[in-house]
Amino acid sequence: MSPPELASLPDQPGLVDAYAPLPDCYDEMRTPEGEVRAHWQYLLDALRTLGPAGIEERWGESRRLIRDNGVTYNPHGDPRGMSRPWELDLLPLLIRSDEWAELERGLIQRAELLNLILRDLYGPRDLVRLELIPAELIDGHPGYLLPCRGVDCIGGRPLVHYAADLTRRPDGRWQVISDRTQTPLGAGYALENRVVLSRVLPSVFRDSHVHRLAGFFRSMRRTLTRLAPQHGEEPRVVVLTPGPRNEAYFEHAYLANYLGYTLVQGADLSVRDGALWLRTLGRLERIDAVLRRLDDVWCDPLELREDSLLGIPGLVQAARLGNVTLANALGSGVLEHPALKAFLPALCQHLLGEELALSDTPTWWCGDPESRVRVLDDLDRLIVRPVHPALDPTPIQPGTLAPEARARLVRAIETHPRRYIAQEPVVPATAPALIGRQLEPRPTTLRTFLIAEEEGYAVMPGGLGRVHSTPEAALPLSGQLGGLGKDVWVLASEPERQETLLPLSEITPAVVQESAVSSRVADNLFWIGRYAERAEGLVRLLRVTIFKYAERSDYPLSPASSSCLRALLEALTQQTQTFPGFLGPGAEERLNDPVPELLALISDRSLVGSLPQTLEALGQAAYSVRDRLSADTWRIIGDIEALQASLADHPPRVLSQALDELDPLVTSLVAFSGLTQENMTHNEGWHFLETGRRLERGATTASLLRSTLVPVAGEADENMLIEAVLGVTDSTITYRRRYRGGTRVGALLDLVFQDEGNPRALAYQLAMLGRLVTELPRGDLAVGRTPAEKLALKSLTDIRLAEINQLIQVDETGQQRARLAEMLADLNLQLAALSDAITAQYFRHEEQPHSLLSRVAEVPV
């Protein structure tokens, strides 16, 4: 019921009055007579109160939240790549509680039915023997995996997690469009939709008494814990992802974080002695259950698809031995066979003794002679689809084909009838979507989610709405989540008990040892530290160089400013390794006019070593381990990505414009550094990130000092160079307070080279590295110092024993400080060797052959 003060408000012109449902389809908001359905009235009154300006403000806030939270969905071929933001409609899809209860019963029945079919197909095959399902329908389908026959599952429910896509018929009844039984996608996006809308429309959400989602995810945790083989006090569950290039990688990381599980890729896991293990840096961890987001055939290159680089060799055997539970069971993709819909009503009567509550899209399999005759007689009215996923999955509308193409289709159906199904066209229901400042009817589907429990299935109270981006009623049947997302509100008749979105244990909390990082995760964290520091160092050097270039008031350049600029420009090339740059062939020409090269370093995405490339590498490494980064940290990553895209897509044409872009970038990079230092638990993962950061800062500082202080210049030149180095290393204030005798090379070396209390000094980096590498995980048989520890100790000792008075001495030629050059060159080599030693010890894996079985007797006969 809407409040009186809202109900009396006049409608905003064009907001609801102009809303006209599409003909011949059910509309969620308006009745066929044009009346607004009662359960929509409160939401519409709230929109009237907000007005166009308020609605636009909330819409902008929702987009900001999605951007800040890093919510992405990356369908294959999208030009925006891995950074395509999730698109959410501001209006939820509203469903009455009583209506939902009826739908829920139908969904539970369908999940039970599909689970029984799955158990039979990989067990006794009674349904095939009784000819309730044609043998050729199953045995000829690539989704039916023979190696998975006879694999038992704990609890008798191989279909652990299930999703169904639905829409309404024109008469308002729900209709199932497709079943998702391999790796049901979208539950994480549904949860994120709820988080965003409950923040953007808090009072509307609260007063609408919307059923909460947290209970569904707690059921998921309970189920996976119950189904996991018990090999310890607390079972270890992981989320298996194909990797960061998968379109729904955000959801994989999001669910792993929300459920408290470790996100893994196939390369992180190994089957040994018939069990599944997570390969960490210090030990192997037994894995008891896997919530997989990897399709069936890619999961085991040993027994399934041999060219898979995403799976784990021996995984089928580990499941066969009962040593690991997979959700869902391998082979569950056979239930997505489109022709199976034609047999579900009869199967429901046989297995459950009742009518199928939720109807399917009317479907005919052309392998059945009677169905084939019906299809060919009524061909122009139907939609034809190949049943084999390797064939072109594009729906065929025979009524729109040219005569020659239609004749070819008829011949193909008559020649290979088992390869085709026909379905009646689906006319999806429409729901209002906020397009600009107007409400427009858009075709809408609902994806619902179920999880197996001990006595049945639990249904998520709501789900994921999907709105077509165009008004046309063409319905995509793929698993991809195109168009706009919609939150789905199931409206209760009374206030819901508030529940936290954090996963809570149902028993007294116990301290469980935190999972160590895998080699892949450690490698990415190490390079996050390196790329972040490399980008920050480059931005600082670029800013100081541009300042020095802009400060000159003479042309041609004076010797002092020319010498200082030359050293800084050469330092840029040396640090970025963008040769020839200001050091190789053609360097003199570029030194005389450095602006094009500087702008290329700032904005050229194709230049290896440039700022955009470094930032892009940082983003990719961070995306690969996004489950390890906090929401605030990821928000900063999003800011950095936006600034990087701005630099690359809209290159600055002048250096002053470039400075305007670099200033906020260095702020974001410093914020990222601070968040990883203060908000990230100092565990193994943090140690690798910080090690990469200190290595990179040490290498860039040594390179900077070598480029600027080794060549000898006049006093004025050196004063300018020292001032520039202090600016790059952010040490100017300390220098001025500590040293009163003006700028001197020795004083600079004391502060930036040898001071272990200065976070920007080379000695500080090596002191930190010495502590960090000592705390990195060591093998059980490791004795003495590791190669990395020895290198860090030697480098730090060399700096501590160095005599600055000797380092600043000029050699016989009077052109350079030879001892300083030698010292810095040695340190650079030692830092490179230290990086190689860490890589060799932790990031490379040459595994020895090992048995997949613990005993030969365990192999099923």
- State whether 414 and 435 are in the same domain: no
* The two structure tokens encoding residue 245: 């290039």
DSSP symbol at 777 = -
Task: List the one residue out of 261, 314, 270, 251 whose CA is nearest residue 290.
Answer: 261
Name the 3-class secondary structure at 241.
coil
164 in a structural domain: yes
**Is pLDDT of 6 > 60?**
no
756 in a structural domain: yes
- State whether 138 and 69 are in the same domain: yes
- State whether 666 and 766 are in the same domain: no
Rounded to whole angstroms, the Cα distance separating 292 from 247 reads 15
Residue 130: φ, ψ to 5°:
-85, 5
**Is pLDDT of 511 > 50?**
no
**Is pLDDT of 506 > 70?**
no
Q: Which segments within 480-616 are labelled E, that is strand? A: 484-491
How many structural domains does the chain have? 4
Percent above pLDDT 90 for the chain: 72
pLDDT the model gives residue 390: 63
The pLDDT tens digits for 571-604 are 999 999 999 999 989 998 999 889 999 999 999 9
Residue 358: φ, ψ to 5°:
-100, 120
CA 406 to chain centre: 43
Mean pLDDT taken over the chain:
88
**Is pLDDT of 315 > 70?**
yes
686 in a structural domain: no
- Please say whether the beta carbons of 753 and 722 come within 8 A: no
Domain CATH for 374: 3.30.1490.270
Domain finish residue from 680, 712, 741: 680
pLDDT the model gives residue 622: 94
The range of the structural domain enclosing residue 380 comes to 362-423
- State whether 369 and 220 are in the same domain: no
- State whether 146 and 243 are in the same domain: yes
DSSP symbol at 859 = S
The pLDDT tens digits for 97-155 are 999 999 999 999 999 999 999 999 999 999 999 999 999 999 988 899 999 999 988 88
- State whether 159 and 186 are in the same domain: yes
- What is the identity of the amino acid at 350? H
CA 262 to chain centre: 14
Give the 3-state secondary structure percentages of the chain, helix then strand then coil, rounded to 5.
50, 15, 40
Rounded to whole angstroms, the Cα distance separating 398 from 381 reads 8
- State whether 170 and 279 are in the same domain: yes
Rounded to whole angstroms, the Cα distance separating 315 from 268 reads 13
- State whether 536 and 444 are in the same domain: no
Residue 257: asked if its preceding bond is cis (omega within 30°), the reply is no
Rounded to whole angstroms, the Cα distance separating 650 from 558 reads 33
- State whether 132 and 229 are in the same domain: yes
Domain finish residue from 379, 395, 423: 423
Rounded to whole angstroms, the Cα distance separating 566 from 246 reads 46
Average pLDDT over residues 841-845: 76
Task: List the one residue out of 138, 13, 107 whose CA is nearest residue 446.
Answer: 107
- State whether 230 and 294 are in the same domain: yes
The pLDDT tens digits for 143-176 are 999 999 999 888 889 999 999 999 999 999 999 9
Q: How confident is the model at residue 231 (pLDDT cuts 50, 70, 90)?
A: low
